[in-house]
Amino acid sequence: MSDPRPIDELSKLEAAQELAKLARIIADHDKRYYLEDSPTISDGEYDALRRRNDAIEQRFPTLIHKDSPNKRVGTAPRSGFRKVRHAVPMLSLANAFKQEDVQDFYDRICRFLSLKDGAGLTIVAEPKIDGLSANLRYEQGQLVLAATRGDGREGEDITANIMTLDDVPKDLGADAPAVVEVRGEVYMRGDDFAAMNRRLIEDGKPEFANPRNAAAGSLRQLDPKITAERPLRFFAYSHGALEGLALDSHMALLDQLRAWGFSVNELTQACQSVDEMIAVYEAIQDQRATLGYDIDGVVYKVDDYGFQERLGFVARAPRWAIAHKFPAERAVTRLNEITVQVGRTGAITPVANLEPITVGGVVVSRATLHNEDEIKRKDIRPGDWVVIQRAGDVIPQVVEVQLDKRSGDPAPFDFPRLCPVCDSPVERPPGEAVARCSGGLICKAQRVERLKHFVSRDALDIDGFGDKNVEAFAELGWLDSPVDVFQLHHHADELRSMEGWGATSVDKLMAAIETARRAPLNRLIFGLGIRQVGQASARLLARYYTDFDTWSVAMRKLADCDAGVEAELLNIDSFGQAVVVELQRFFANDGNAAVVAELGALMEVEAVEAPADTGSPFTAKTVVFTGTLESMSRPEAKAWAERLGAKVSNSVSKKTNFVVIGGDAGSKATKARDLGVPILSEQEFRDMAERKLKTSANASNETSTNEEPGKAAPDTETSA
């Protein structure tokens, strides 16, 4: 995505294509950060991707789709632990990088709340801990469940491991509320981390790269005894579900958390102005190196819970909080060589192989260079001295070349015109920055990467089928397509005789494969690795077509350029032309279509259940919004409708149940009247929705800040 075109020069089609690409790239980095604890780009580079995504969405709001990074948090939980559904979703934060961003955040709040010069507004500033988020559920004062963030809606059950932490109270006392979920960050102090690494080295075991990875790895041990040996700590900063306790402010919550025995960061301060917020930020930044634990910024939160409730949420983040990130750390080292890697979609990615150097306590030796344009724009050549930057615990990015240190006139890097794996021509589609191998499935690298994707946690989620096993089985000729995964039992006896495999491990793998035969439709669709079809798009397709047979028939029609199927796909809210094009290309390939058909015969693909009857007038109804809404944004209105069980569509038809009209409603309103579709004003829609939401909130009493449907109580400490 380097050297992108100015956003104001993008056509709508170009914007749609880039948004789809950004969604896929950001989702991949979210998985590496949240799930694998091994990110491959810097925080600054990740934030730049998100900023461009946000800017394009702001210019083209009609292109915002379900795969948008602003619609999700984190990634799906890993296998090995029982999966836990969060009673209240765990969200993330928008980021600020400059003082101007902080001022804009403050001004937006004042305008929204009609507070002149911030009168009556208190902002709480607290350090942003660089650890692993956890949600601790107490019932009648007793700790009964602990879970990781996971994908924000479903995490991993780590109760037994959390029980080993000394600074996590197991009993809140007799006066505790009926239910309270305490949210915070599991972390490791720097001195404890160094001592632990020394012990690991002495025992001949691999050391951890940094405290965050150490904390994440320690908390995710299947054996709690190992976790108990690790020096983990917990800072509490928020709550999730809450029953039986009334709180009016964030500071009141922190006081209550202290009273229950939790550690609350002592650097947290209340601020009455932007100047005070910046002063706290600078003071904490000055202390950063001496704190003894890692932080990567300061979080600002509106203190008053009443204000928080009025402000509500936008997409994946609250309006009432933001993370002010610290600048990335930098260093200088030599770039020894540029090599390339081939991904599952054929993407050719150049990689900088660096002279190893320590940046922020982590030894780094590789950095992605993204694409050919990035290398040319920065004039990066083998042998150059380069400035790299690192934020958090990730592989750095190359910021610039120190041309004054360049020796002689080294030749520019010659980007390959043939795939280094299969010798197929490398092609670069017009308007795209990424070059791709044209070999498709004849390219071993692509086949292997697609197979890795198919068995991965977010797809078929087959335990024991890691990357190395996929590579080994492919090398043996046992795996060539996803169908072969379900034929692997034919090689079970051979596998038992191989070094590193025993009867038990083989039996476990075969059992996991058998379990994966029964999989939800959305996971199968995602596992196929179709370009532009991420997890959210796969869920949309599964929800729309319901079952495998209906979906596969529609896809075969699409392959034959059926205009009706193309139209119905484009009518799915936020489903763009770029996704439809890639679906058509995929199924137009006879080999791909055959693989899908064989998988349908080999698997028991689970249909999507109809939405539960929530008692809402919108349950299982199709809703269309048109015109300019005054009291909420279009995305907010859609979120309300979907939270109440509705399907949101882009066009009006006889199947439409409600059309909600705002100001200057045009042809959609006219068509609704002609077809006799019920029309709601914005206020009528709000009244119907709010009555149901208020009833639900009173019944569950899950949170004091549940303003926007489908969004969460305060959980604002982490951001990718």
CA distance 185 to 265: 11
Which comes out higher in pLDDT, residue 406 or 47?
406
Q: Which of 31, 128, 452, 692 is catalytic?
A: 128
Which comes out higher in pLDDT, residue 430 or 189?
189
Confidence of residue 619 (pLDDT cuts 50, 70, 90): confident
Q: Which residues contact 430 (CB under 8 A, 6 or more apart)?
A: none
For residue 46, pLDDT beyond 80:
no
For residue 552, pLDDT beyond 90:
yes
CA distance 537 to 368: 27
pTM, rounded to two decimals = 0.52
- The C-alpha angle 298, 304, 309, rounded to 5 degrees, equals 100
Q: Which pLDDT does position 408 carry in this prediction?
A: 87
Query: What share of the chain has pLDDT > 70, as a percent?
Result: 88
- The C-alpha angle 374, 341, 25, rounded to 5 degrees, equals 65
Q: Where are the beta strands (DSSP E) in 194-262?
A: 233-243
359 strand-pairing partners: 362
610 exposed, middle or buried (CB, 10 Å; 0-12, 13-18, 19+)? exposed
CA distance 614 to 621: 12
Q: Which pLDDT does position 49 carry in this prediction?
A: 85
Q: Which two tokens stand for residue 658?
A: 């409600």
What secondary structure letter does DSSP report for 713? S
Residue range 658-707, pLDDT digits in tens: 999 988 888 888 998 999 999 999 898 988 887 665 554 444 333 333 33
Q: Which residues contact 203 (CB under 8 A, 6 or more apart)?
A: none
CA distance 530 to 526: 7
The Cα-based distances of 611 to 569, 618, 640, 698 in angstroms read: 20, 11, 15, 22
Q: Which pLDDT does position 31 carry in this prediction?
A: 66
Order of strands across the sheet that contains 179-187 = 142-148, 132-139, 179-187, 233-243
Q: Which pLDDT does position 568 carry in this prediction?
A: 86
Q: Which pLDDT does position 248 carry in this prediction?
A: 93
Q: Is 128 annotated in the active site?
A: yes
Per DSSP, the three-state class of 314 is: strand
Residue range 195-239, pLDDT digits in tens: 999 998 888 888 887 888 889 888 888 888 889 989 999 999 999
Q: Which residues contact 172 (CB under 8 A, 6 or more apart)?
A: 138, 141, 142, 180, 260, 261
Confidence of residue 270 (pLDDT cuts 50, 70, 90): very high
Q: Which two tokens stand for residue 108?
A: 């937006």
Q: Which two tokens stand for residue 387?
A: 């400035």
Q: Which pLDDT does position 391 carry in this prediction?
A: 52
| In the block, residue with structure tokens 């000729």 | 477
| In the block, residue with structure tokens 């896929």 | 24
H or E element, residue 357: strand 348-359
Q: Which pLDDT does position 705 carry in this prediction?
A: 31
CA distance 564 to 554: 9
Residue 3 exposure: Cα atoms within 13 Å on the Cβ side: 16
Q: Which pLDDT does position 34 carry in this prediction?
A: 57
Q: Which pLDDT does position 364 carry in this prediction?
A: 81
Q: Which amino acid is at 499?
A: E
CA distance 315 to 536: 14
The Cα-based distances of 640 to 197, 203, 616 in angstroms read: 49, 55, 11
Which comes out higher in pLDDT, residue 168 or 313?
168
- The C-alpha angle 557, 561, 566, rounded to 5 degrees, equals 80
Is the distance from CB of 352 to CB of 367 less than 8 angstroms? yes
Q: Which residues contact 42 (CB under 8 A, 6 or more apart)?
A: 328, 389, 390, 391, 392, 394, 395, 396, 397
> Of 391, 193, 165, which Cα lies nearest the Cα of 288?
391
Q: Which pLDDT does position 615 carry in this prediction?
A: 65
For residue 66, pLDDT beyond 50:
yes
Rounded mean pLDDT of 82-87? 87
Which comes out higher in pLDDT, residue 348 or 289?
348
628 exposed, middle or buried (CB, 10 Å; 0-12, 13-18, 19+)? exposed
Helices (H) and strands (E) in the chain, counts: 25, 26
CA distance 621 to 401: 57
For residue 333, pLDDT beyond 90:
yes
H helical segments located in 31-156: 43-59, 99-113
Q: Which pLDDT does position 75 carry in this prediction?
A: 55
Confidence of residue 7 (pLDDT cuts 50, 70, 90): confident
What secondary structure letter does DSSP report for 500? T
Bridge pairing between strands 132-139 and 142-148: antiparallel
The alpha carbon of residue 337 and the mean position of all alpha carbons in its chain are separated, in whole angstroms, by 32
Per DSSP, the three-state class of 605 is: strand
Q: Where are the beta strands (DSSP E) in 372-476?
A: 385-390, 397-401, 426-427, 436-437
Where in the chain are the domains?
1-71, 83-325, 443-608, 622-700
Confidence of residue 718 (pLDDT cuts 50, 70, 90): very low
> Of 319, 321, 314, 322, which Cα lies nearest the Cα of 634?
314
Domain 1-71 has CATH 3.40.30.10: no
The Cα-based distances of 231 to 148, 215, 217, 392, 522 in angstroms read: 18, 8, 12, 20, 40
Could you give phi then psi for residue 659, rounded to 5 degrees? -120, 120
Average pLDDT in the chain: 85
For residue 590, pLDDT beyond 60:
yes
Which comes out higher in pLDDT, residue 53 or 263?
263
What is 83-325's CATH number? 3.30.470.30
Is the distance from CB of 417 to CB of 372 less than 8 angstroms? no
Q: Which pLDDT does position 703 carry in this prediction?
A: 32
For residue 349, pLDDT beyond 50:
yes
**Could you say which of 3.40.50.2300, 3.30.2010.10, 3.40.50.10190, 3.60.20.30 is the CATH number of the domain covering 622-700?**
3.40.50.10190
For residue 512, pLDDT beyond 60:
yes
Confidence of residue 395 (pLDDT cuts 50, 70, 90): low
Of 108-117, 262-271, 487-496, the poorest mean pLDDT is in 108-117
Is the distance from CB of 644 to CB of 692 less than 8 angstroms? yes
Residue range 164-173, pLDDT digits in tens: 999 999 999 9
Q: Which pLDDT does position 702 carry in this prediction?
A: 33
For residue 450, pLDDT beyond 80:
yes
What secondary structure letter does DSSP report for 361? T
Domain spanning 443-608: CATH superfamily: 5' to 3' exonuclease, C-terminal subdomain (1.10.150.20)
Of 77-86, 260-269, 413-422, the poorest mean pLDDT is in 77-86
| Residue 507: other Cβ atoms inside 10 A | 12
What secondary structure letter does DSSP report for 301? E
CA distance 212 to 720: 13
- The C-alpha angle 432, 434, 437, rounded to 5 degrees, equals 120
Which comes out higher in pLDDT, residue 265 or 16?
265
Q: Which two tokens stand for residue 311?
A: 């402000």
CA distance 440 to 446: 7
Confidence of residue 367 (pLDDT cuts 50, 70, 90): confident
Per DSSP, the three-state class of 623 is: strand
Rounded mean pLDDT of 302-317? 83
